[in-house]
Amino acid sequence: MTSKKQAWTGMLAGLGMALFGFAPLAQEARATDLNFYFPVAVGGPITKIIDGMAADFEKENPGIKIKAIYSGSYQDTIAKTLTAVKGGDAPQVAVILSTDMFTLIDENAIVPFDNLAKTDDDRAWLKGFYPGFMENSQTGGKTWGIPFQRSTVVMYWNKELFKKAGLDPNKPPQNWAELVEYGKKLTKRDASGNVATWGVQVPSSGFPYWLFQSFTTQNDVKLMNAEGNQTYFDKPAVVEALQYWVDLSQKHKIHPPGIVEWGTTPKDFFEKKAAIIWTTTGNLTNIRNNAKFDFGVAMLPQGKRRGSPTGGGNFYIFKSATAEQQQAAFKFAKWMTQPKRAAEWAIATGYVAVSPAAWETPEMKKYVAEFPAPLVARDQLQHAVAELSTHENQRVTKALNDGLQAALTGAKPAAQAMQDAQREAERILRSYR
End position of a domain, from candidates 374, 408, 424: 374
CA distance 363 to 208: 34
Both 300 and 325 in one domain: the answer is no
Tell whether 221 is covered by a domain: yes
Residues 164 and 194 in one domain: yes
Burial readout 54-69 (b: 16 or more C-beta within 10 A, e: otherwise) = beebeeebeebbbebe
The answer on 285 and 193 residing in a single domain is: yes
Same domain, 172 and 292: yes
**Helix residue ranges, H only, 87-142:** 101-106, 120-126, 131-134
3-state secondary structure of 385: strand
pLDDT value at position 28?
A: 45
Q: Is residue 24 part of a domain?
A: no
pLDDT at 217: 97
Residue 283 and residue 174 share a domain: yes
CA triplet 424, 429, 433: central angle to 5 degrees? 145
What pLDDT score was predicted for residue 45?
79
The answer on 349 and 261 residing in a single domain is no
- The range of the structural domain enclosing residue 225 comes to 152-310+386-432
- Whether residue 225 sits in one domain with residue 100: no
Residues 65 and 127 occupy one common structural domain: yes
Domain presence at residue 413: yes
Q: What is the C-alpha to C-alpha distance for residues 313 and 330, in angstroms, rounded to an integer?
A: 16
pLDDT at 5: 42
The total of other beta-carbon atoms located within 10 Å of residue 432's CB is: 14
* Same domain? 303 vs 156: yes
- Is residue 18 situated within a structural domain? no
pLDDT per residue, tens digit, the chain (433 aa), is 444 444 444 444 444 444 344 444 444 457 899 999 999 855 457 889 999 999 999 999 999 999 999 999 888 999 999 999 999 999 999 999 999 999 999 999 999 999 999 999 999 999 999 999 999 999 989 999 999 999 999 999 999 999 999 999 999 999 999 999 999 999 999 999 999 999 999 999 988 999 999 999 999 999 999 899 999 999 999 999 999 999 999 999 999 999 999 999 999 999 999 999 999 998 998 899 999 999 999 999 999 999 999 999 999 999 999 999 999 999 999 999 999 999 999 998 889 999 999 999 999 999 999 999 999 999 999 999 999 999 999 999 999 999 999 999 999 999 999 999 999 999 999 999 8
What pLDDT score was predicted for residue 350? Answer: 86
- Domain of 252, CATH number, reads 3.40.190.10
Structure-derived torsion over alpha carbons of residues 66, 73, 98, 116, reported in degrees to the nearest 10: -10
175 and 58: one domain? no
3 lies in some domain: no
pLDDT of amino acid 42: 52
| Closest to 209 measured CA to CA, from 300, 61, 311, 123 | 311
Given 374, 395, 412, the domain boundary residue is 374
Q: What is the pTM of this model?
A: 0.85
**Residue 285 near residue 44 (C-beta atoms within 8 A):** yes
In a domain, 14, yes or no: no
Distance CA 255, CA 198 (A): 6
Same domain? For 52 and 186 the reply is: no
Name the domain count of the chain.
2
In 143-256, which residue ranges form alpha helices assigned H by DSSP? 159-164, 176-186, 208-218, 236-250
In a domain, 5, yes or no: no
Strands 32-38 and 93-97: parallel
- Does residue 15 sit within a domain? no
Please identify, among 325, 347, 374, the residue that sits at the C-terminal boundary of a domain. 374
Same domain, 193 and 147: no
Left (φ > 0), alpha (ψ -120 to 50) or beta: where does 268 sit?
alpha
